[in-house]
Amino acid sequence: MTYDNRQFYIDGAWVDPVEAKDLNVINPATEEVAGVISMGSSKDVDRAVTAARRAFDSFSSTSPAERLALLGRILTAYKAHYDEIAEAISIEMGAPITLSKGSQTGVGVGHISAMMDVLKSFKFEEMQGTVRLVQEPVGVCALITPWNWPINQVAAKVVPALAAGCTMVLKPSEYSPFSAIIWAKVMHQAGVPAGVFNLINGDGPSVGAPLSSHREVDMVSFTGSTRAGTEVAKNAAASVKRVHQELGGKSPNILLDDADFERAVTKGVLHVFQNSGQSCNAPTRMLVPKAKLAEVEAIARRVAESVVTGDPKSEKTNLGPLVSKLQFDRVEGYIAKGIAEGAKVVFGGSGRPEGLTKGYFVKPTIFSDVHNNMTIAREEIFGPVLCILPYDNEEQAVQIANDTPYGLAAYVWSKDNLHARRIGGRIRAGQVTLNGAQGGMNTPFGGFKMSGNGREWGEHGLRDYLEVKAVIGVDAA
């Protein structure tokens, strides 16, 4: 299937770009053209922001009940396009079809459903003594999303923005535009009012920068690399707009001495390899007691040997390609750097997996005897590469875990839940998972330090699209 959509969705209609500039989107599994989109410019940004600004007065005054009904219609339309979205994600960024039909697309249903539950009981007005506190939509929002979990990131921004009463312009990644285009069709079919939701394709310099610096934009929400996030913040600073960021990670996974090592190592390795390692919260630094290092290596190697790398269309495939040639070269460079710096290769290494001669596939790789000053332990690789770091005692484990500029996620394993909680409480991260537990769609997601600011998902995600107004006076009640 080839995708061809060279228009943008602006003010409730599909329109041609001001200046035509085509981009071939490459299927990373085949290195062949999967479709064509147009790349936008600052002129397209102006059109979209103007539409969003014009729509804000009326949409911001809608009731929570009206917005709840709108989300219900979006959920129905989304489910009708579910298989189409799953196929698009698999083609545009190489996700194995089982992952694409499962988590990648399923999370869209999750975000919409969770926000509907939040809206049913959320208090947009409440009294604080004689003062009325009113939660109002922040305004026109620029939403800039990445390619690695394309619908998750779109839904995690668009859905709370709609629930809050904001209007918006979405710029999805140019590497994964097809699923976002289908999302725009869902918005249209659900009856989202004209101008409330707008979509422009393009890259960071041509569309992202004009959006994040636009004086008629009140908030920019960005998910991507820390490097790009700092540029977004700089662009937004001149107009003092709200900046909401979910950025990089280098998450520690601490296996305490009393952990179930078979379970912890297995889940840790598979988590790193999921989505070809292209997840910001992946537990890429596995910290293990030095005395358990050989045991951990053996388990990790056995798990890695069970992973099937190959054609995303096959339901037997666990691990697909990286999203692009740029990402392929980047990850291969990190693998080479790890070898050069003296890390022990337990599994994988440089080059494509055996039998694969095309596509941006890399070998799932496990390094051991890694020290936290090595490049592969310091920098976010964003590929299926696990670093195993030995530690002497728990104090050192905590020190290593926190010795990173990032603070997105962390993981702790112990057969004693209180033990795991004590250690987890000392980790500087926005989300700490104990013994493989699962959060829900209302669990706040976001980071400390250079992993960003603000939170997404559920009620916390909604609050970040709201401003607080204090109404003071005798008639406030």
> What residues are annotated to the active site?
246, 280
Element (H, E) at 150: helix 150-164
Q: Residue 307: CB partners within 8 Å, gap ≥ 6?
A: 270, 273, 318, 319, 364
Task: Using only the alpha carbons of the chain, give its radius of gyration.
Answer: 23
Distances, alpha carbon 415 to alpha carbons 227, 259, 260, 401, 418, in Å:
38, 5, 6, 20, 9
**The Cα angle at residue 416 between residues 414 and 420, in degrees rounded to 5:** 55
- Helical packing angle, 105-121 and 82-93, nearest 10°: 130
Element (H, E) at 412: strand 409-413
C-alpha span between 477 and 472 (Å, rounded): 9
- b/e 92-114 (16+ beta carbons within 10 angstroms → b): bbbbbbbbbbebbbbbbbbbbeb
Q: Residue 260: CB partners within 8 Å, gap ≥ 6?
A: 413, 415
C-alpha span between 76 and 74 (Å, rounded): 5
> For the chain, how many residues are written?
477
Q: Residue 133: CB partners within 8 Å, gap ≥ 6?
A: 125, 126, 127, 468, 469, 470, 471
Considering only CA atoms, which of 468, 360, 464 is closest in space to residue 32? 360
C-alpha span between 210 and 39 (Å, rounded): 13
Residue 440, class by beta-carbon neighbours within 10 Å (0-12 exposed, 13-18 middle, 19+ buried)? exposed
Considering only CA atoms, which of 285, 368, 384 is closest in space to residue 331? 384
